[in-house]
Amino acid sequence: MKPLLYLILGFHLMNFSLFSQREKDGIDPLFTSAYNKYENKDYAKNPKDAAAIYNRGLCAFDMKDYKDGITNFNVSISLGRRKEDAFYNRGLCHFYLNNFSRAIADFDTAIMLKPNYVKALTFKGASLNELKKYNEALEILNQAVNADTSYEYSFYYRAIVKYYLKDFEGGLADCNKSLGIRSYYETFFWRGLHYLNLKRYQEAITDYDTVIKHDQKYAKAYYNRAIVYYDLKNYERSLLDNNKSIEIDPTKPDAYYNRALTKFELGKYKEAEPDFNAAIDLGFTTTKHFTQRAINFYYQNKYSQALSDFDIAIQKDKQYEKAYYFRALTKYKIEDDKGVIEDCNSALALLKADYIYYQRGISKYNLKDYQGAIDDFNESLKLNPDYKPSILERGIAYYFTEKDALALADLNNSIKADPKSARAYYYRGKLKKYMKDLQGSCADLKQAKILGSAFAADELTKNGCK
């Protein structure tokens, strides 16, 4: 949030100069002298007068010395300047020091002294937002907007609150209202986020282009634009933006994690590994993060590392079916079919999915539990009647249980769906032999051999096919 705060700071200082001049009490030489020095950036100590010390607080604020600003506003208030501006500006100092509860207390006092004080209402809402009290923040910011529809920061902060409340259409409307009053690049940044969540990707890209044109060192803008390109499956562009984001700010785990995902989608599993490691080292240690690194290990055939990460992921969250499923796939690779079945059981207890039933059926098939395999393939096909792998493997399981008519129907359907399936032609060729169709058997086995079956040649010899 710091870039947002610095932008707002410059805006408020502009108003403070005007406000100080307006609020001076009659002809006050000390106040006027202090004000002139403030205007000339002469931040020397002023005499101990409430108004002068108040302006010294503004000087400290101008120099981003918020602690000294609080000290001066404290003294000014103690000397009698109990006006809304003193409490409001002290509240702003607390706000920029992330002392949000104290800031709210000062803004409340300012509002009590000046009802419908739009700036105090706005920054009270912003403080509540920082405390993640989003519904309370929305209520206060609604008051601010109703008090003054010309103050762009009320709309700006309300847009941010609506983002966290997932009201993206409402947030977008507020960004547009804020930009209709004044154009700030931070508002484009947040509007881009709303566009992103509304899947209005090109508009999001346009807004992030605007932000980056204004500030070419804005790491989070590159990061968010990278997400847009990722969602558009433009992984090369996403990778470029992730690279730039990390180059500018190498401390953010989310940037490494998203760059790792992008490399993963590009099939660059080896290159993705250091980024997954960096994300975890920097604090991304949830079940999801260990699971994704494990999957990346799986695709590199690093099965022991994959199993280790899956174990950690499941220890962290026993309700994450993806970890069980991919651990099952990993165990399948090391020929632990009993382990596959156990993990598929756990995954299916959380999610009924065609591919999980299929994988469990394959391991049952490998353990020669053909009827159990058929049952799983049937469950898979209940969920997805067109799931091609289950149709093929059910046909093969029917072959081994001598249910020839059922086997032939499934193998015919498999070949119709995928005419390049060597496995389907191979088993249909073997089946036709037992069905006394030697000519058909030879034709299928020849086709299986052409398509790359390693076993078809031996079957052709056994059948005496020419």
Give me the mean pLDDT over the 32-61 stretch: 70
The residue ranking higher by pLDDT, 77 or 30, is 77
Share of the chain above pLDDT 70, in %: 90
∠ CA(86), CA(157), CA(216), 5° rounding? 105
Distance CA 248, CA 416 (A): 54
Q: How many other C-beta atoms can be found within 10 angstroms of the C-beta atom of residue 58?
A: 24
Q: What is the pLDDT of residue 2?
A: 30
pLDDT of residue 312: 98
pLDDT in tens, 97-155: 999 999 999 999 999 999 999 999 999 999 999 999 999 999 999 999 999 999 999 99
Angstrom CA distances, 422 to 166, 362, 407, 443, stand at 50, 18, 16, 12
What distance in Å separates the CA atoms of residue 435 and residue 335, rounded to the nearest whole number? 33
Distance of CA 414 to the CA centre of its chain: 39
Cα separation, 146 vs 139, whole angstroms? 11
Phi, psi of 193 (to 5 degrees): -65, -40
pLDDT digits (tens, 9 = 90+) for 207-256: 999 999 999 999 999 999 999 999 999 999 999 999 999 999 999 999 99
Alpha-carbon distance of 411 to 437, in angstroms, equals 15
Average pLDDT for residues 79-96, to the nearest whole number?
92
Go through the domains of the chain in sequence order and give each one's CATH number.
Answer: 232-284 (1.25.40.10)
pLDDT value of position 29: 56
Measured CA to CA in angstroms, residue 437 lies from 207, 424, 431, 461 at distances of: 67, 16, 9, 16
- Of 182, 137, 176, 179, nearest to 158 by C-alpha is 137
Q: How far apart, in Å, do the first and last CA atoms of the chain sit?
A: 76
* pLDDT tens digits for range 401-460: 999 999 999 999 999 999 999 999 999 999 999 999 999 999 999 999 999 999 999 999
- Residue pair 185/215 in contact (Cβ under 8 Å)? The answer is yes
CB 54 within 8 Å of CB 30: no
Contact 308, 330 (CB under 8 A): no
Give the helix ranges, DSSP H, for 40-184: 50-62, 66-78, 84-96, 100-113, 118-130, 134-147, 152-164, 168-181
What does the pLDDT average to over 318-323?
Answer: 97
Q: Is 71 exposed, middle or buried (0-12, 13-18, 19+ CB in 10 A)?
A: middle
